[in-house]
Structure 1
């Protein structure tokens, strides 16, 4: 049996009521993108100290001023490539964040602009507004993290897939479809694959989508984007299967189980809920979670309306892709970070915005429509207040963590650690970046050395073993303890290293 889905074929939806001439002239989507950039610059990017843990790992790969941190199996290098040109010029965190804030706003505009011929100007702008006002979207727009860029690539790829399967599709649609999928895979390999799966399935199931250029683009994009990840899998991990197994182990063992409760507990923070022991006891929490609980209801309503008006593809496809992208985080992991669902939020904003616009326009002009618009504005204002509260809390928490990293680095400098040097222990990667040292660990997700090799290196290089415990690691027995005030950490330093003796000339 072959499924048939109407895209933008011969049967067109009923035209919407004409918009006022002034409304047609206002570049609403561009205004949303500008507001998004301003919000990032005012609320986070400018004046925010330092880089977070994961940021230091991605940045250190291409920063000429710091040794590269251990790059674990689940990570992808797209974000490192994105920030490389900036870091080649300056190491200023403010410049980095400002550039990322402006770039993310520009890409937000470009990604949602793809949907204007599919949903219309008003719905597209509203979708971008809904997505860009989430606290997690504002927070990560200027961070060197991959999740937002996957989200924007997913929005653009899904839109180009629909436009490439429509009548009279331009050739550039196939190229841009492949490029957007390649970008998603390059930024985060697993997310890019989960995005490509429903698009490929659609090209096989839906008769109108079975076009060689579309299938070729859907296959070529992920392959091109995944070439680096696959090559690194063989070079460092022993192949694709081995890298996937190591990735699963690093993530705590990925297996089918319900993780939605963990996701809900970590919805408003912390930035990494692992292990997720957050309790929903704060009186504001129910209001902060209403929008999240409403997402499946609104998405289902949007799908029902799209089927009723006989134009389901622009609604069903983003909903299916959003569901696919949420699978590993809601059904396989055992921990949660709010940024994980950014791609799903971005895709769901499209059908929800279309639902709202269509519902408002279906009302007769006058009192009913005025009342509906007023109610929407009130609800949106309440939503903004909860998002701002969550943003402020998480920015303060992240600021405190990064400040402790800097304090620890300053203390290690005072104790004599200067590049070239080495830090080890659970909190070594970010503190190493702040200190200008290399990092290494003998256990855990960032294990990349052995106790013997570490002790040998410590004999010739300034080294600090960092721990929160009141006793040193086994490899650091006999080392001197130095409390790092204000950090909760203790640094164990070996006897002053002796310089390596040069080989005698022959």
Structure 2
């Protein structure tokens, strides 16, 4: 019989205790990771509770959703748009046109993508160690407090989805250039995120990728083959789709670029005042600084302070050994934002969302560093309380702006819901049909009609091709024009309909016996 001495028994016991300790460490969740999950879940819940989940689709949303819709004919797809967003909406709109289902899907997707966007940064800041491990979760939380990040979390606009993709893409790139080569996981992440980003917004993805490609050449320790190749390949995928559609539908790439610049009003401008006015809401589109009212200094204070906070965050990064990652995120954000600030003569709160998401990282690094100041526990607790109090005040202000903006938007598009119901139930406007004139695109989705847009509310010209084609097909045609407009001769026998909600516009329907 084999026996075991006391020393051997002690060794076995030590090994058992060691394995148990390792097991406990393996099972213990990373608190920084757990906090990011909690922030993402809270963001998702905030969107669901604070945004109108059943509001009818806006103009831009109808354009994107109708491209692959199960019932609604596709609205006109302008040259400055890209096909990535219709693909994002496809899992829902190809099955149902229930608006709540689409908004619930986007709300859940926002929470998931918030987590996935900042997840690569946990590894980046995990190497820095200490309290800086919490920077990604704090950055995600800071970005999630912005009223426009909440409002557009349930809407089919490209800007927020691009923000998530660019944050993830830059994070994967920061990992790919420092991890032992070939680092295929981060490299694939770079390729996928920039491919998707360039499918959603090709010019923006290219602008944001510029600093990454430059850094891969200029920074000696980052000179690796596969990270910049992954960025370039991802961009080629999105731009390839853009070029293909340009040739097929818009007369070639140059014609598409030229027409897109004309339709968006591009040119060398100073859009800083317009963006400052837009950032405090509640308007969602500002064609001029004066067109959106004045600036609320309290609601816009964070925007004015943002460059200072970012610069201070980068100064902290230089002292605490994460300047490369923080600087790359900042450079990518600036490169992305420059075209919007200097080349676009109008603004919207959503336009700069990708820049805000990237800049949240150095700002979060600054805040985390602040919480570590002080030589004793009580001082650190006081500083942490001050930072938390400032953050809470910021949240309260942003939520106030959100409530106003969401209420205004719900009121505006609620009119379209009621108008569509009136036209369907009282005037029997049902598919196949055409809505022509002011508000045609938002009305087309609940009515499941073709649309022909005339934003000025003017009457159609004689022999309008869209109306003529619809009449030949036997479609029901609704023409919505200003009440003071005289209809053309071919509509002389059409029935004038007083429309609810906005007496400035009236509808015209052909006679029932046409």
Task: Report the TM-score when normalising by structure 1.
Answer: 0.88
**C-alpha distance after superposition, 1:447-499 (max 9, x if no partner):** xx995413422543322222335104658763543221213452442533777
**C-alpha distance after superposition, 1:41-71 (max 9, x if no partner):** 111254x322122111111111111111001
Residue in structure 1 matched with residue 500 of structure 2 by the alignment: 485
Gaps of 5+ in 2: 1-27, 127-132
Kept after mapping to 2: 8 A contact 1:422/1:437: yes
Structure 1 residue ranges, 4+ long, deviating more than 6 angstroms after superposition = none
Gaps of 5+ in 1: 1-20, 500-506
Q: For the structure 1 residues 302 and 82, does the alpha-carbon distance in structure 2 shift closer, same or farther, using more than 3 Å as the test? A: same
Segment of structure 1 superposing worse, 431-440 or 345-354: 431-440
Q: 1:56 aligns with which of 54, 59, 62?
A: 62
Q: 1:431 aligns with which of 398, 422, 443?
A: 443
Task: Report the TM-score when normalising by structure 2.
Answer: 0.86
**C-alpha distance after superposition, 1:368-417 (max 9, x if no partner):** 21111111111111101111111111111111111111122123322232
Give the Cα–Cα distance (whole angstroms) in 2 for the partners of residues 45 and 82 of structure 1.
Answer: 20
Offset of 1:136 from its aligned partner? 0.8
Matched, 1:462 2:476: yes
Kept after mapping to 2: 8 A contact 1:407/1:487: no
Residue in structure 1 matched with residue 111 of structure 2 by the alignment: 105
Offset of 1:443 from its aligned partner? 7.8
Q: For the structure 1 residues 325 and 468, does the alpha-carbon distance in structure 2 shift closer, same or farther, using more than 3 Å as the test? A: farther
Q: 2:421 aligns with which of 399, 407, 410?
A: 410
Q: 1:82 aligns with which of 78, 84, 88?
A: 88
Give the Cα–Cα distance (whole angstroms) in 2 for the partners of residues 243 and 443 of structure 1.
Answer: 22
- Larger RCO of the pair (alpha carbons < 8 Å, separation 6+): 1
Residue in structure 2 matched with residue 227 of structure 1 by the alignment: 240
Give the Cα–Cα distance (whole angstroms) in 2 for the partners of residues 311 and 134 of structure 1.
Answer: 25
Give the Cα–Cα distance (whole angstroms) in 2 for the partners of residues 103 and 23 of structure 1.
Answer: 24
Considering only aligned residues, what root-mean-square deviation do their CA atoms show, in Å? 2.4
Kept after mapping to 1: 8 A contact 2:282/2:408: no
Q: For the structure 1 residues 442 and 96, does the alpha-carbon distance in structure 2 shift closer, same or farther, using more than 3 Å as the test? A: closer
Kept after mapping to 2: 8 A contact 1:476/1:492: no
Q: For the structure 1 residues 217 and 418, does the alpha-carbon distance in structure 2 shift closer, same or farther, using more than 3 Å as the test? A: same
Matched, 1:186 2:199: yes
Residue in structure 2 matched with residue 43 of structure 1 by the alignment: 50
Matched, 1:271 2:271: no
Residue in structure 1 matched with residue 37 of structure 2 by the alignment: 30
Secondary structure at 2:286's aligned position in 1? coil
**C-alpha distance after superposition, 1:283-310 (max 9, x if no partner):** xx21101111111001111122223445
Q: Which structure shows the higher helix fraction?
A: 2
Offset of 1:318 from its aligned partner? 0.7
Offset of 1:23 from its aligned partner? 8.1
Residue in structure 1 matched with residue 23 of structure 2 by the alignment: none
